[in-house]
Structures are given as structure tokens and as C-alpha cells.
Structure 1
Amino acid sequence: MTPFLQFVFISAIILFAAKAAGYISTRLGQPSVLGELLVGLLLGPSLIDLVHLHIFTDAHLGEFVYEIGELGVLILMFLAGMELHIRDFVRNTRVSLLSGSLGVIVPVALGTGVGLLAHMPLDSALFLGLTLGATSVSISAQTLMELNVLRTRVGLGLLGAAVFDDILVILFLSIFLALGDGGLTPTTVLPVVLRMAIFLALSMGFGLWILPRLSQRVVRLPVSQAALSFAIVIMLLYGLAAEVLGGMAAITGTFLAGLMFARTPEKGQIESGLRALGYGFFIPMFFVNVGLAVDLHLIRLDTFWIMLGVILVAIIGKILGAGLGARASGYSWLEALQLGIGMVSRGEVGLIVATVGLDNGWLSPQVFPAIVAMVLVTTLVTPPLLRATFAHQEKKDRAEMIEAVSTPEASVEPFESKS
């Protein structure tokens, strides 16, 4: 087969497997994303190693699948942004700031402690903690959308906290790189902060004042699917600008783009078209590709205890840090737990940060598989834990409603006439 036909064949296999696994997962009472992640793990190097089967001879096939998956996560975060409104974010600034900050600081501190207990050098221990500070909110956002709770204050707080989390992790990572290049000074940190501020200011300004006018003009053009094509172009440019101009993750840029398009009259048309395109092909490819990137054979018995410590700290640190931030912002204990669980997943963000540490010598090849295991476990446990906590809340709300309805009228004091 030609390289193109190989790509067509493997795409068909992955898409069929993703949809079948998603269906089985929903039948078992779990989000479909859990099944897609697990089937990716089975198709990956941990078991089948689909990309490297003898029928696939193209050396770049895995890269093509990866790039398609990356487009999927950009679309996913754009759709998550379109579910919201800027007013919702303004009302949730406090919880976003507190949960996003504590959701980084607490795991970083606990992860550093694990590194020191494992007799790692201080800089290596600090970087180990930094890998635990990252969050990949795309998987949580998908789960919240499946549960129809993305627009609740837990969902809004989670997405806002993820933005602050991304900013802090990138800032800390830039500080580490600056230290490796010759020391931490204002001249090395200030440009990082300025890049982020400039990107956020320009993206918000363009989206608030220019984008609505451009969108109205584009939809009047005699071009098929003009609004959808225009939205995709802006989404990709926002993602590109986030990486190149802001030094942030591309998913942060596409999320902001979706937030801007949520204000336009063409929102319904864009959302329906992009949802069909994304969930029909690109987004399932992303979730399966997360599993394809994990090789369980890298996990070694001699690093079992540090792996166990990293996994426990990664889960507890996010729930504790982000949850306490939500609690301090007026959330109930259950809502704080839900938000904390939503921040647990590391996904591709954790792997990216860990890879930077490995390339710069802050993480050893022996410790890196422990990070891979942490990313895998946190990614897999987040969807079922979120579903369980929201199911508990639904039962609690139903019980309170039944109790209120069944309250006997006799318990109400009768009106007594004074006459």
C-alpha cells in the first residue's frame, strides 16, 4: 500500500475502535472518553503496537496520526469555549485564580518532597514537582460536556482554573530553562510574562471588537460554509498565536477563540458544523492517540516505589490544591471535590513538560517512566471519578426534592384569625 492508503486504513481502524469502545463505555455507565483512552492503550505499544505492524511500512505514519489527534484537541477546546460566555468567566475569576494557583503550587511542593525522599538532587526534585503541576483539561471538558454540566459553576471554575494553571506552569518552566541557560534574572523572566500579557490582551481585544464585525461580513459572502471555514481559520490562528506569541499551549488559544465566537450570531451554525466534524473524526483520534503514546513496557520494577509516590501525589495534590481554592471561593465541599478531580488529568501536557526535563537532564531515564505511568493513571481515573461525584450530587438533589415535596402540610402552622 502507498503511504496515503496506509493512513486511510489505520484511520479507519482507529475511528471504528474508538466509537466501539466509547459505546461499550457508555453502556457500562462511564463516559465514552474512558473507552477511547483504553482502546488507544490497547492499540499502542503496550499491547498491539498498531502503527508498527508489518502491514504499515510508512515510517511517518505515527506522526500523521499524532498530528490529526492534535487537531482534534484544538477543536475540542474550541467547542468547550463556545459552550461558555465571557460573563460566566468574569463571575468566576476568584475561583479560577485560587484553584488554578493552588492547583499548581500544592502538587509542585508535594512532588518536590517525593523527589527529595528519593534522594534526587534539588533541581531534579523541583522539576519532578513541576511535571505534577501541569493539567490537561481537555479530557475533563469532554466528560463535563457529556454530563451536560459544563455550564455549571464547577465547569466554569474548572476551565478558568485550567487557564491560570497553564500560565503558571509555562512561567515556572520558563524560569527553569532560564536557570539552565545562566541564571534567573528579571531580564529572563520579564519577557515571558510580557509575552503572555500581550497575547491575552491582543486576543481579547480582537475577539471583542473586530471578530464580530468580520464574522458578519464573512457570512454574507457567496461561499459555501463561509462561517464554519472562517471559524476554523481563526481557531487555528489563535492556537498558533498562543504558542508563538504567548509562549502558552495552543489549546489555551483555541479555547479563547471559542469563547470569542460564543458572542457572535453565527454561534449555532458554527457549533453544529464543527461538532459534527470534530466528533465524527478528529476528537476520537486525539483520545485514542493519548493511549498510543504510552508504552507500559517502560515501567520498571526498580522504580516502582517512586512511581507509586508520584501517582498518589499527582492525584491528591490536585484535588487538595484546586479543591481548597474552590472551597475558599465559596464552593461546597462536594463542588470543591468535583473541581479538584477535574484538574487531576495530566494528558499530553504532563508528557510535554516531562520531555523537556528529560532533554535538559533534570529527569533521569529511570524516573521518566514513572511520569509516563502518572500521566496514564491520572488520565484514566479522571472521567469515572467525575461521573461518580456528579451522580452522587444528582442523587442528593433528588433526595432533597422528594423530602421537600413529601413534607406534610400539617407541619405548617395554621393561620389564626385575630377576629
Structure 2
Amino acid sequence: MQNHLFPIMLALVLSLCPACSRQATATGTRTPDLDTMMGQMLMVGFRDQNVDENSPIVRDIKDRHLGSVILFDYDVNLHQSGRNIASFQQVQKLVSTLKHHASIPLLVAVDQEGGRVARLKPAYGFPALPSAQDLGRDHDPERTRKAGELTGKTLKDVGINWDLAPVVDVNVNPCSPAIGNLGRSFSSDPHQVVAHAEAFITGLHEYGVLSCLKHFPGHGSARSDSHQGFTDVSSTWSPQELIPYRQLVSKGTCDAIMTAHIFNRQLDARFPATLSRATITDLLRRDMGFDGVILTDDMQMGAIANEYGLKQAIYHALKAGADILVFGNNLEYDPDITAKAIQVMNNLVTSGQISRDRIARSFARIMELKKKLQVLQKTI
């Protein structure tokens, strides 16, 4: 591991974790162990509206240092509602319990975009939120900022600290099954997308909630849904779909960016974006200058799961430069997915296919994001 990472990571993790600070003082440990860093690089979904010491997700948070969880209201695998969300009080208690078991502050995420993509719904006692399409149609960023504030307050009140929104896909194809057809894009004009995304993020930050731009490098022209399988935008995508990312990165607005599982031969002739070093490291990091957290879309979606095994998917995502690997555990369910993913990552490091320094760089970025969250929450 490169020596310059030692003091950076040590300072970040100790500032976030008093227990880790006491352990470091007692043992002389200079950096977290490899398994801790790998646990922080995972975001995992789970079943149940209430959890306790015996719940698999609590076990993962306590014993494997799982860094992030994601909540859903609908269980796709079981075809039923009520997966994690039933009411305000229930969600508040669930989130509090999850956080209680984390030695390093836990990121609790949800897809609360508004409109049809909102996990905290009026049916469960939460306020209705307009879709990105509705907000963009008004061309009123102030209204979008207020929607962001309402979203931020809603999440803050139950303890959720990360909204996987806003979508900054440009509405190239209004019939795109996963974007335009669901009203998830602000506009077909990338500059309007920038204005509304910035306003929405400002609203979230007012209540100490992190944001996430998605889906890099642009899903708005897709003719198929990457949840279902291979999605190729090579003939429909254009560089204008990068404008929201370029501008928001240059403004310093981005908390994090989620990749798309789309295949784009214009950028990489072999891999979809989530597994593409040319797309993540070369384009987003080096060309655009983004050094924050990059997370994958759900690694169990068809575009990845149907084309790659778990080991190959994790290997290529790490080689590409992703910091957090997302396993929604909803399209399919495996209570041991955290342990399995960490074992795969460990084997990759042990075999020399992935360096320890590569893991350390992602861990450092995640700690920076958690530090930013603390700062945001102190200002409210």
C-alpha cells in the first residue's frame, strides 16, 4: 500500500469511529484491516421491517463492517409490498437499530426520486413528491429546490442519510422503459437537467442528506431496460449526455455518482459502463476530474448477473474503479451475499489480481464521503 494513504485513512476512520480510535491506541494499528475496508465498499439490501441481533443484515454490519444498506418498499423476488417500509415510526426504528450496530457510521440509502420511483410512499404515511419530469416541465428550479427540501426533510426525519437521486439522464428517448417512460428525467435539454439537479441537491443538503447522480454515462437513450438484461446504447447515445456530469462535477456539486449497466461501444467496445475502466477511470476520473465515490447500479440486475458470474463481475467492477458495489438483494435474495462478496474480494487481493492499495483508495473516498455527511448534518 502506498505510504501516503496511511495518515489519510487513519485520520478519517478515527474521526468517524471512537471505538476504532481506542483500538488503534491500544494495538498500535495504523490502518483498518482489509476485511473492514472491503465491508465499507458494499451496499446491501435485506428483508424485514424490523431487525435484531440475529438478523443477517445486523450480523453483516457488526461482524463484517458493512458500510451501506439500501431500503426498498417492494420485494421483487417475492412479488409483495412491505419489504422494509410500512410506516414512519417503523422506518425510524429500523434505521435507528441498523445504525446502532455500526462501529463506523452507516450510510442508509433509498431511491427517493419522486413520482413513480419513491420508496417512501403516501400509502405508508409519507408526503407525495413530484417526478423529475413534472419538475422539469415547469422550468422552475426553485420548485425543484423545494421538492429537494421536502425529500431531504422526509428522509432526515426517519434517519435515512443518502438519497440515490437525482437522475441526470437526458431524456433523449421519452419511451425509454427505465427512464423516460417512468418520468425520471428532468429534460431533453442537458442544461435544464443541470439546473434542476443542482437545485434538488441543494434542497437535500439543507437537511443533511447526501445525493447521488445517476446513471453514468447516460441511460436516457436506451431502448431496453438494464434490469432485465443486456442494454446497448451504442447507436443512440451522444456526448451531450455527459454534460450534466461535466458541469456538476466542475461545480463541486456531486456527492457521489452511480454507473449504468449500459453497453456503449463509443466508450468501450468490450464492457458495460459499470465494468469499464475506460468509462469510470479514464473518462469520469481522469478526464472529468471526479475523485468522489463512484457506486455501481445493482450488481444483481440482468445486464450484469445474466452476463457475468459474481467473481467476474466484482473483479471487473474493481478494475474499472468502482468504490461501492451495490447488491440490492431484491431481484434475487441471498442472506449471505455480503460474506460471499468479501470472500471474492479477499481472493482477488490474495491472488494479486487486485492490489491492497486499490482497496485502500476506495476506502479513503468512502471515509471522505462519511466525513462530508457529518459536516452537512452539523450545519442543519
TM-score, normalised on structure 2? 0.27
TM-score, normalised on structure 1? 0.25
Q: Pick the structure with greater CA Rg.
A: 1
Q: Which has the higher strand share?
A: 2
